[in-house]
């Protein structure tokens, strides 16, 4: 008989209490893969395995890790990764795995989405110019993929999903067969958007982080993500790897409270299958500090914003620069369909490849529903549109109510600079309705065709107020006869016009009365006796302007009936991710990238940092100036 004394019981209770504070994985094991290993070994440091695919089959305990030592590997079997198992390589420039398997690494569960807690980093995976996928994660939250290189997969380097399509098996969300009886969540009903069914709370993959990677001739394909971070990645898709040369997304669906920032995207072309970022069904997402030579296609939410969400998306501090002859000219930013509110600001647009800087329009799918396709509460502010002179250019900003039920209303275009474009603003009531358009405190200069063009019918009010018209070929071609204008100044705007663009080139000259303190109060902060005209307010930094703008109700100027934002029975998205949670003790530090890989193929050139509301990575907009 065992007798437990009161003292022994206290000791056991104390030990149990202490163990409750030991994090999961504290006693995790590490297994090793090496070029001279053998899959018949036990995976220890002394007797490592030879392949990652074998290691994936052998390591199943949550919290365990697979370490890949320096070397080159040929591994054509699939690595099936268990929940909670991490893969760490000695460094992206020290470990290269050549594979024909697709997907090579599979981390998969069915819905409801589970805690995956897989982390993959420090490796290069090369698909050898095959139509394959390097990593597929589906049905798992808390996935981290970082400091890795994915090369030559002729399509997708990383695919990361919550629910894997409306049927959870095909990866397809677009449905042409949806009816009023459709019940499958994550159904995006092209034939009638009224029949779309949003993700259920258990469909979302939360806490996904993809950062500091390099994608060479392949893309990142995300779907059904909440609270995701896509940051500091480089996409080099100038190579000819098939018809699809997109970088992030490409008909990707369902995003809530995600940050896409500090990425560098090089496509060398644009077209319907060559898109820098294409993400649809967006709520409360932010795209900032990215550099791109191809276009963003951003669609709103057909089922509306959740309570407390202000915008479908914010797009700010990005640099869009494209100097080439495109396959199919496109806008730098496509603002398309079902927008409850969007804020687009402090971006820089330049180059002859763009058809427009910003295009706001409906879509053919938007016409396939019984209600109006409403695009409302758009703010376009503090941007610079510089020399967009494509021969088919429709302007720095193009608003087109291009479908029978497209309604575009309450668009505020304020404090921008339009310089040297073919056209400035192109407005088309092309079958739908367009109204409540205000343009204030803008500078229009050096346009080679027309500054303002209107066509078609279905117009409501369009007002141009307190703007500068300088050295333009033609100010106005108002075919629709709808533009009201006042306080138009036809004088030199008084910009610095030296140095780098956009800043300091487009900064106002202090004391130059045509722009300095000469603007109209539009609700943004300013110094002096009044706002400056143009993209920059002398004396204020970016954060002050952004915070103040976010205090403005985006719907306050709507002239017609209020937009029904709708409700969505979707999963709650966590807060925007902020902190780095890497494992510096597990993978040795990598040396400086070899010259043939840096900087284009060097993951983490920009470094993963805390998500913030402003930065200089994309636009080089300068901050505070002394008045």
Other CB atoms closer than 10 Å to residue 11's CB: what's the count?
11
Dist CA 177 CA 189 (whole Å): 8
Nearest one of 311, 335, 346 to 553, comparing CA atoms: 311
CA 591 vs. chain centroid, Å, equals: 30
What is the chain's Cα-based Rg?
Answer: 26
306 upstream amide cis, omega within 30 of 0:
no
Residues 6+ apart with CB under 8 A from 272: 328
Cα distance between the two ends of the chain: 87
Half-sphere exposure of 95 (CA within 13 A, CB side): 28
Alpha-helix residue ranges (DSSP H) falling in 90-240: none
Dist CA 556 CA 524 (whole Å): 14
Please tell me what DSSP assigns to residue 577: P
What is the H or E stretch that residue 252 is in?
strand 248-256
Dist CA 69 CA 596 (whole Å): 22
Alpha-helix residue ranges (DSSP H) falling in 304-438: none
In DSSP notation, 37-80 reads --TTS---SSS-BS-HHHHHHH--STT-EEEE-SEEEE--S-EE
Dist CA 413 CA 377 (whole Å): 11
CA 457 vs. chain centroid, Å, equals: 34
Output b/e per residue, 552-589; b: 16+ Cβ within 10 A: bebbebbeeeebebeebebbebeebbeeeebeeeebee
Q: CA separation (Å) from 206 to 115, 263, 340?
A: 9, 21, 24
Q: How many residues does the chain have?
A: 627
The alpha carbon dihedral of 528, 530, 534, 540 has a sign of positive
3-state secondary structure (DSSP) of residue 261? strand
Nearest one of 99, 97, 115, 116 to 107, comparing CA atoms: 116
pLDDT recorded at residue 603: 67
Residues 6+ apart with CB under 8 A from 95: 68, 69, 70, 71, 73, 89, 122, 123, 124
Other CB atoms closer than 10 Å to residue 9's CB: what's the count?
10
Nearest one of 128, 134, 133, 161 to 148, comparing CA atoms: 134
pLDDT recorded at residue 320: 98
Mean pLDDT by 10 residues, the chain (627 residues): 62 59 68 98 98 98 98 98 98 98 97 98 94 95 98 92 96 89 92 89 98 95 98 87 75 96 94 91 97 96 90 97 90 94 97 94 70 91 92 86 88 97 90 92 96 89 96 91 93 94 91 90 93 91 53 51 32 33 33 32 52 38 30
pLDDT recorded at residue 618: 40
Name the pTM for this structure. 0.87
């Amino acid at each position: 008989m065992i007798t437990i004394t009161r003292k022994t019981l206290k000791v056991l209770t104390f030990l149990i209490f202490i163990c409750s504070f030991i994090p999961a994985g504290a006693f995790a094991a590490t297994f090793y893969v090496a070029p001279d290993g053998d899959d018949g070994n036990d995976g220890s440091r002394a007797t490592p395995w030879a392949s990652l695919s074998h290691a994936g089959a052998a390591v199943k305990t949550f919290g365990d890790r697979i370490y890949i030592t320096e070397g080159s590997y040929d591994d054509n079997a699939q690595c099936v990764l268990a929940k909670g198992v991490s893969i760490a390589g000695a460094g992206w420039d020290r470990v290269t795995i050549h594979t024909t398997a697709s997907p090579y690494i599979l981390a998969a569960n069915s819905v409801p989405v589970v805690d995956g807690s897989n982390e993959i980093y420090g490796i290069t995976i090369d698909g050898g110019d095959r139509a394959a996928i390097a990593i597929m994660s589906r049905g798992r939250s808390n996935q981290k993929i970082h400091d890795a290189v994915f090369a030559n997969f002729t399509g997708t380097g990383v695919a990361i999903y919550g629910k894997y399509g409306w049927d959870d098996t095909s990866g397809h969300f677009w449905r042409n067969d949806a009816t009023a009886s459709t019940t499958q969540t994550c159904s995006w009903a092209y034939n009638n958007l009224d029949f779309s069914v949003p993700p259920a709370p258990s469909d979302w993959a939360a806490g996904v982080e993809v950062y500091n990677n390099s994608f060479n001739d392949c893309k990142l394909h995300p779907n059904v993500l909440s609270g995701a971070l896509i940051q500091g990645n480089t996409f080099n898709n100038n190579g000819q790897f098939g018809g699809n040369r997109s970088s992030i997304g490409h008909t990707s669906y369902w995003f809530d409270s995600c940050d896409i920032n500090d990425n560098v995207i090089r496509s060398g072309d644009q077209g319907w299958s060559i898109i820098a970022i294409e993400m649809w069904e967006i709520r409360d997402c932010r795209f900032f500090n990215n550099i791109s030579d191809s276009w963003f296609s951003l669609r709103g939410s057909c089922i509306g914003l959740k309570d407390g969400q202000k915008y479908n998306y914010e797009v700010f501090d990005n640099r869009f620069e494209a100097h080439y002859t495109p396959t199919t000219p496109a806008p730098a930013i496509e603002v398309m369909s079902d927008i409850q509110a969007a804020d687009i600001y402090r971006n820089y647009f330049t180059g002859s490849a763009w058809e427009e800087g910003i295009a706001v329009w409906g879509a053919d799918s938007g016409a396939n529903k019984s209600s109006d396709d409403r695009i409302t509460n758009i703010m376009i502010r503090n941007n610079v549109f510089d020399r967009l002179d494509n021969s088919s250019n429709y302007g720095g900003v193009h608003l087109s109510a291009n479908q029978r039920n497209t309604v575009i209303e309450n668009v505020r275009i304020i404090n921008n600079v339009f310089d040297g474009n073919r056209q400035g603003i192109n407005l088309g009531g092309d079958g739908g309705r367009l109204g409540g358009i205000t343009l204030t405190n803008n500078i229009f200069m050096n346009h080679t065709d027309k500054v303002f063009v209107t066509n078609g019918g279905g117009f409501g009010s369009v007002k141009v107020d307190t703007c500068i018209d300088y050295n333009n070929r033609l100010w106005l071609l108002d075919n629709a006869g709808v533009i009201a204008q006042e306080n138009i100044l036809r004088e030199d705007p008084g910009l610095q016009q030296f140095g780098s663009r956009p800043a300091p080139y487009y900064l106002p000259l202090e004391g130059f009365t045509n722009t300095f303190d000469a603007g109209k109060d539009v609700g943004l902060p300013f110094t002096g006796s009044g706002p400056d005209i143009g993209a920059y307010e002398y004396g204020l930094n970016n954060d002050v302007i952004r915070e103040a703008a976010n205090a403005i109700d985006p719907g306050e100027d709507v002239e017609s009936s209020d937009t029904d934002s709708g409700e969505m029975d979707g999963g709650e998205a966590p807060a925007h991710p902020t902190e780095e949670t890497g494992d510096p003790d597990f993978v040795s530090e990598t040396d400086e990238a070899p010259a043939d890989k840096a900087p284009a193929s060097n993951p983490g050139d920009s470094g993963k940092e805390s998500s913030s509301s402003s930065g200089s990575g994309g636009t080089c907009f300068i901050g505070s100036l002394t008045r």
